Amino acid sequence: MGKQIETFNSTICHLITAARSSATTAEKLDLLTTLAPQALAVKGCSLLLLDGENKKLIYAASHGLSERYLRKGLIEAEKSMPETTHGKVVKVKDAASDERLQFPELAQQEHIASIMGTPVTIRGTVAGSLRVYSRVSRDFSAAEENFLLTVAEVAGLILESGQMRRKESNALSQASIGLEKGHVLPVRDAVFAHQSEEEFAKLLDFYQIEWLYEPRSFPLKWEEGRITEMFTPDFYLPGLDLYIEVTTLKPELTRDKKRKVRRMHEVHPDVKIKLLARHEYDILLSKYGYGPLAGTKTRGAGQVLYSTERIQTRVRQLAEEISRGYEGQRPLLIGVMKGVFIFMADLMRYLTVPAEVDFMAISYYEVEKGGAVRVTKDLDINPEGRNVLLIEDIVDTGMTLSFILAYLRTRKPASLAVCTLFDKNVRRLADVELDYVGFAVPEEFIIGYGLDNREEYRNLPFVALLEHEQPPDQPPPNQQTE
């Protein structure tokens, strides 16, 4: 017992010293969740913080837990050891059968036998829960309980300090206590390291994609058991289970970011991460008329990628595939205005099954107005109970399509599938399923056959590259979004 108390005291002193240091909030919490389980001789530790509505628990830091376990889904505060968020200590001896756990079967798969959890408070208000996990069934002692309560107090002090020092780029974002209610972090509540991150956050807000800013750091290198290099991706999108690193920096720094992302794939192969490079980011903004490429003058159509004959042949083949898939049915074809109307008209003429057609429209992003995407023209035909086929001209990032599919599912169709003429999967962010695809297009900005650039070139009967008059020191534009 004396040796254990000595270890506890030493660990607390170490954590208090770290809490007073100039390290970032994320680094302090990573240290805390690493040292606490070592002192208790258990498998791992996690810090979970309440969201703005006090309904969900979000991982802010962890050690010793697998990615599968950490990504099991947003945790309901009232279904996962709820006493901790009401200010009480919870000890779970048998994690596989205890009703106070939301995911007992996953705890069993993770080889977690027992759990002890304590509340984490900031200025007297419960902000979340600190938990330790044991591989073996265990009765945690009073001394161990007191130790974890003290560690939780240090965690609260670190979080409070992080809120007061919003200037640090690793400040915890949505998970932090005191933010406005809602699952999407308002841009004004995060202090971004670069303007491009703020612009990207606004775009995510518009498409109602939940995001966390720099919520977690990943170890990349170790020496003699010590972590020597960490990587903190800019964004995590919980709904897409995807980390995003935005880079608009100098070439040498961009190369370092690429190296770290490659290292992430090696060390953490189960973590989905995407690097949004400078030219990709500029093209993304140019779609909405912003960024350095927005004012670039166009020369017109360049190299023809898909001739009129090739497009019509593929549209006819798609119609045959769709007709076979919907044989004996009367599908409802839905198009989202505007660019899809040419493809949709040709596709309809080649179908051999009876079909109905309807159109809807949604608002598009304007940085000055902010807000969220909304339906500006709803369907005239009720899709409830119908076999719906959504028709798209091009799918790129998938953010627009993801919103539309979520909206249509609320209308309770009997089935819902997607047909797109062009699939630009190289820049996919939202993981959307496509049932019928005409062409897998390269990483280029294309125009024609309904695809436009500032409302021009839709009328071209073929699809070609868009040629720009290149401004000085600017990489050529080569992408677009749906």
Question: Among 127-131, 183-187, 289-293, 412-416, where is mean pLDDT lowest?
Answer: 183-187
Given strand 242-246, what is the order of strands in its sheet? 212-213, 235-237, 242-246, 273-276
Percent of the chain with pLDDT strictly greater than 90:
39
Output the CA–CA distances (angstroms, integers) from residue 270 to 134, 258, 307, in the order listed: 23, 18, 41
Local confidence band at 166 (pLDDT 50, 70, 90 cut-offs): very low
Percent of the chain with pLDDT strictly greater than 70:
81
Output the six-digit token pair for 422.
Answer: 């062009």
The whole-number pLDDT of residue 74 equals: 62
Local confidence band at 454 (pLDDT 50, 70, 90 cut-offs): confident
Average the pLDDT over 16-20 and give the result: 90
CB atoms under 10 Å from CB of 399, counted, come to 24
Dump pLDDT digits (tens) for 195-242. 778 888 888 888 777 787 876 778 888 876 667 888 888 888 877 778
Local confidence band at 180 (pLDDT 50, 70, 90 cut-offs): very low
Output the six-digit token pair for 270.
Answer: 């189960």
Output the six-digit token pair for 40.
Answer: 């208790």
3-class secondary structure, 233: coil
Does position 165 have pLDDT exceeding 60, yes or no?
A: no
Does position 23 have pLDDT exceeding 50, yes or no?
A: yes
Average the pLDDT over 393-416 and give the result: 91
Average the pLDDT over 431-437 and give the result: 91
The whole-number pLDDT of residue 478 equals: 41
* Phi, psi of 359, rounded to the nearest 5 degrees: -130, 150
Does position 256 have pLDDT exceeding 80, yes or no?
A: yes
The whole-number pLDDT of residue 292 equals: 56
Output the six-digit token pair for 408.
Answer: 């249509």
3-class secondary structure, 425: helix
Does position 262 have pLDDT exceeding 80, yes or no?
A: yes
Query: Can you say whether the dihedral through the CA atoms of 120, 126, 127, 128 is positive or negative?
Result: positive
Q: Which residue out of 205, 234, 346, 396 is catalytically annotated? A: 396
Among the ranges 137-146, 255-264, 369-378, 437-446, which has the highest mean pLDDT value?
Answer: 137-146
3-class secondary structure, 387: strand
Question: Among 247-261, 311-325, 434-448, 458-472, where is mean pLDDT lowest?
Answer: 458-472
* Phi, psi of 65, rounded to the nearest 5 degrees: -110, 145
User: Is 396 in the active site?
Assistant: yes
- More confident of the two residues 386 and 282: 386
Beta strands, E only, 314-402: 332-336, 356-362, 375-377, 387-395
Chain mean pLDDT for the chain: 82
The residues, any chain, with a CB within 8 Å of residue 255's CB and separated by 6 or more, are: none
How far, in Å, CA of 391 to CA of 345, rounded? Answer: 11
Does position 366 have pLDDT exceeding 90, yes or no?
A: no
Does position 77 have pLDDT exceeding 60, yes or no?
A: yes
Candidates 465, 420, 398, 417; CA nearest to 315 is 420
Q: Are the CB atoms for 40 and 147 separated by under 8 Å?
A: yes
Dump pLDDT digits (tens) for 121-143. 988 899 999 999 999 999 999 99
Average the pLDDT over 262-284 and give the result: 80
Q: Are the CB atoms for 171 and 29 separated by under 8 Å?
A: no
- More confident of the two residues 282 and 204: 204
* Phi, psi of 255, rounded to the nearest 5 degrees: -60, -40
- More confident of the two residues 453 and 459: 459
How far, in Å, CA of 356 to CA of 383, rounded? Answer: 11
Candidates 62, 26, 31; CA nearest to 47 is 62
How far, in Å, CA of 52 to CA of 187, rounded? Answer: 14
3-class secondary structure, 186: coil
The residues, any chain, with a CB within 8 Å of residue 465's CB and separated by 6 or more, are: 301, 302, 303, 305, 444, 445, 446, 447
Q: Which residue has the tokens 């962010």?
A: 429
Residue 368 CB-density burial (10 A; 0-12 exposed, 13-18 middle, 19+ buried): exposed
Local confidence band at 35 (pLDDT 50, 70, 90 cut-offs): very high
Does position 364 have pLDDT exceeding 90, yes or no?
A: no
The residues, any chain, with a CB within 8 Å of residue 178's CB and separated by 6 or more, are: 122, 163
Does position 174 have pLDDT exceeding 50, yes or no?
A: no
Q: Are the CB atoms for 407 and 391 separated by under 8 Å?
A: no
Does position 323 have pLDDT exceeding 80, yes or no?
A: yes
Quick one: DSSP state of residue 360?
E
Average the pLDDT over 459-475 and give the result: 67
How far, in Å, CA of 399 to CA of 385, rounded? Answer: 25
Radius of gyration, alpha carbons of the chain: 26
Range 37-52 burial, b when 16+ CB lie within 10 A, else e: bebbebbbbbbbbbbb
Note if the pTM is more than 0.75. Answer: no
Q: Are the CB atoms for 63 and 196 separated by under 8 Å?
A: no
* Phi, psi of 297, rounded to the nearest 5 degrees: -75, 145
Domains and CATH numbers, the chain: 1-179 (3.30.450.40), 184-276 (3.40.960), 300-468 (3.40.50.2020)
Q: Are the CB atoms for 11 and 39 separated by under 8 Å?
A: yes
